[in-house]
Structure 1
Amino acid sequence: MAQVTDRGAEIPENIVSKRAEELLALGKSAVTDLGRKAGSNAADALKLLEDISGSTGTLMDVNQKLIPLIASFKDQSKKPSWWCWFTGEQLEKDVFFERTRLSIENLIEAGQQADVNMHKHAQALRNQQKLMAIEVKLLELDIKAGHLLTSSAYAFQLIEANLIDEELDRLIRRISNLEAMATAASLTQAQYAVASQHAVTVSDRYHEIRNLLLPIWKQNMGFDLFSRQVAGQIH
């Protein structure tokens, strides 16, 4: 399970002190400036997770349907007898073969498109992870700087900057809000990691079925399961 990072653990004290002095110089505006640079966008994060979840789910569905379809050919592979021709059983098998063959071809094509989409979404997720890592660091810095400002070491400077009473209460609430934002961002990072790993597993399974299992079954069953277009996708 992914862990939420220890906020501010890797930020040097001199950097924190410098940020605290910058905020102090802003006076009452320090409250609104605290955390401003992070610019969290929860809507974008949710959209990315929904996108990769959708394409991964589609590919999982393809994987789950392909194996039973291919296995269903096993009972149809016996050499037809004259009785099968007489009763129409062979015709039924021929219809079954064509219908199932088309289903497999369609699933392969759908899986190919879903795999492409999933990798595109996974790349967008990785890009967003880099941006979110920067955002979390900015939040960590301002949280630690805010705590330093509200410590006893800065009591006199806060009075000089007129950050007392209501303004001090606002500053404390702002720090608390930033902590909640940082926790949410860290949890989103963990969700990104889980979603990315799941996508890799599902994609690997699809390629295993498409590139390994299908050709083996095709050879063993002696059927031409694929049209030239789909067969060309199998390497």
Structure 2
Amino acid sequence: MSGFEYIAVFLAGVGAGTINAVVGSGTLITFPTLVAFGLPPVTATISNTVGLAPGAISGAWGYRRELVGQKSRLIRLGSASVIGALIGVALLLGLPDSAFHAIVPVLVGLGCVLVIIQPWLSRKVAHRRSQKQHGGGAVWTFVGLAGIYGGYFAAAQGVLLTGILGIGLNESLQRVNAAKNVLTSLVNTVAAVCFMIVADVSWVHAGLIALGSVVGGQVGAHVGRRLPPLLLRAIIVTVGVIAIYMLLR
């Protein structure tokens, strides 16, 4: 690796950690970066997941004040995230590479769409916030499906969870975002541990992303929420479109 590649991958990790804490689509930054530097898509996904896991934990810790009183809920919903993550990992490792090449551009495209419609999701959240929703069976099921998605690829998993939790729970957006960060950290950690045991990880790339994402998680928790949302979405979607182009060419 050249010095430029070291810096670029680290900075991508910082950006992804920040975005994951605030929005939840940092994979759309790091995954294309790893592919651009020559990693095969499956290896890039595995290394990216391992690298972003510490950043997800960092972001969750940064929102710890908003987690007060959510312990029992997160234990219940966390079980769905863990089960989903294990299924997603099994799919990634069990399906042939050809399936991954066919599926991932669609997932990246879905991630971009989720980032674009996030303002609409936020309005839905605001509309439902006055209703007494407590995270029943439907929310548990959808959180589990988001875990499968996150274990397999993870792009915009946080956006998906924000919509699910925001519509299904009677909580403020900040408390929803804090819960989202805990659930995504569970998914990423479970997937990362599985990948470290049985898969081919590019440890240099994963390590650089891990360092960057830990820094970014704290930045996102304390500063990133002040970034202009439109600019943030535009950057994410642009990178996502570039990723789709690189995967399809």
TM-score, structure 2 normalization: 0.25
Using structure 1 for the length normalisation, give the TM-score.
0.26
User: Which of the pair has more CA radius of gyration?
Assistant: 1
